[in-house]
Amino acid sequence: MRLRMLGIDHNLAPVDVRALFSFTRRQTGEFLEVLRKRPDVEGAVLLSTCNRTELYVSAGKPFVTDLYGMICKAKGQCADAYRDAWTCRSGMEAVQHLMELAAGLQSLIVGEDQILTQVKEALTLARACYATDRVTEVLFRQAVTMAKQTKSLFRIDHGDPSCASQAIAQFRAMGEDFAGRACLVIGNGMMGRLTAQALLDAGAKVYVTVRQYHSGIVDIPQGAVRIGYGERYDYIPRCDFVFSATASPNLTIKKESLEACLNTSGCGSSQRQECGQGKAPQQRGGERARIFVDLAVPRDMECSIDVLPGVKRYDIDDFASAKSGALQEQYRAVLEQANRGAEEFRGWYECRDLVPAVRRLAEMAAEDVCWRMEPDFLRAEDYGLSTVEQITGQAAEKTVSRMLFALRDGLSPEVFRDVLGALEEILERDRRKRQ
């Protein structure tokens, strides 16, 4: 199977390394444009999320393209510096990985739903760039279909399996209470909206930034307060939690600006409580800490804000789900579905060269049906012989094609090949008899 996947994810690379290889939509389009011109590349899909960057490539002949070298060149990175953080999978190993990924089994938050949307969007973008071929199209479509079916049958029991919800759950386990607390969410993309909604569900008062260039209706969760992106530092002093989840390559929180904001606000954590702006965060090390949560890749917040007094910073790698006994059982059930999805793709891949043979046999079968029904056609002249003959032939061809494809799905590739060979031999023998 000439299919290869090259990827970097949270298992081997921390957020700062993953950020070096994160692709925006524009960068993805540019990279696929270059990649699809390679003579050994038939199709490609690039998936880039907070937790991973993965490239899937199919080839019509053996691979010669250095995929890792191309990615490093596209991102301006030294090829020798991060090689150990990347994983290469080929053939069925790559197929199995994508099936598990789409089902949420490879995510930092096991069972999260966002990855399925991201897989679909990766396919849509690759298709728009004319980068996909039949193999990558079928692979990603089957992965999405399998994941949808799996999620309708099984639910990995996290409640709302998103990184924002996991973060809130972990803060609650640390003794934080969000009811009545003022929280700022920087970013109005999918992650930002999920974060805002999770905070609202937890009882917080939520401010959400919206950039000024947005026009028309801006979708933010009902109950959240919309503020301009440029006002974010004005609202930080009145908030106990600041979440940032944007797709921007630029920093949303810088140490110098944050320090100036906190020093000139004249309203510390204890004062926020008195001003009715929410409960103060729990005491840490003798100080009440304002919590900053960076859910973006690349980072939204400067790491150096950690040194500021009263500031505690977390990033996306701080929130991962552990597998309880019940979760392990659910994981195994979903994994079984992913295994089935991988086997279905293998069956399609190994039999894809037989599609012309199936169509040829269907045409031969239709011809045979029409020949056997010729006496009946002659008696139906008053009703339009040519019309009846055409309709009967088309119906027979469709029926036989459907039967043969159903047979393909129920047999191993080897047995199906033998069946097609035997049928073709029989129909060819009958054709010679009629002549």
Catalytic positions, please? 50
Distance CA(401)–CA(207), nearest Å, equals 58
**Which of 433, 430, 367 is closest to 396 using CA atoms?**
367
SS3 of residue 57 by DSSP: strand
Buried b (16+ CB within 10 A) or exposed e, 76-107: eeeeeebeebbbebeeeebbbbbbbbbbbbbb
CA distances from 435 to 242, 362, 371, 428 (A): 82, 19, 11, 11
The interaxial angle of helices 325-351 and 134-153, nearest 10 deg, is 150
Q: Are 32 and 129 within 8 A, CB to CB? A: yes
Look-up: residue for tokens 């929280």? 183
Sign of the Cα torsion 13, 14, 17, 19 reads positive
Sign of the Cα torsion 105, 162, 248, 36 reads positive
Neighbours of 417 (CB within 10 A): 17
Alpha helices (H) in 215-283, listed in sequence order: 232-235, 255-265, 269-274
**Which residues sit opposite 4 in a β-bridge?**
57, 90
DSSP code of residue 82:
S
Neighbours of 54 (CB within 10 A): 24
SS3 of residue 427 by DSSP: helix
Question: 219 Cβ partners below 8 Å, 6+ apart?
Answer: 188, 193
Q: Which two tokens stand for residue 300?
A: 């939204």
Q: Which two tokens stand for residue 64?
A: 């010669």
Neighbours of 243 (CB within 10 A): 29
Q: Are 397 and 365 within 8 A, CB to CB? A: yes
Q: Are 301 and 292 within 8 A, CB to CB? A: yes
> What is the enclosing helix (H) or strand (E) of 7?
strand 3-9
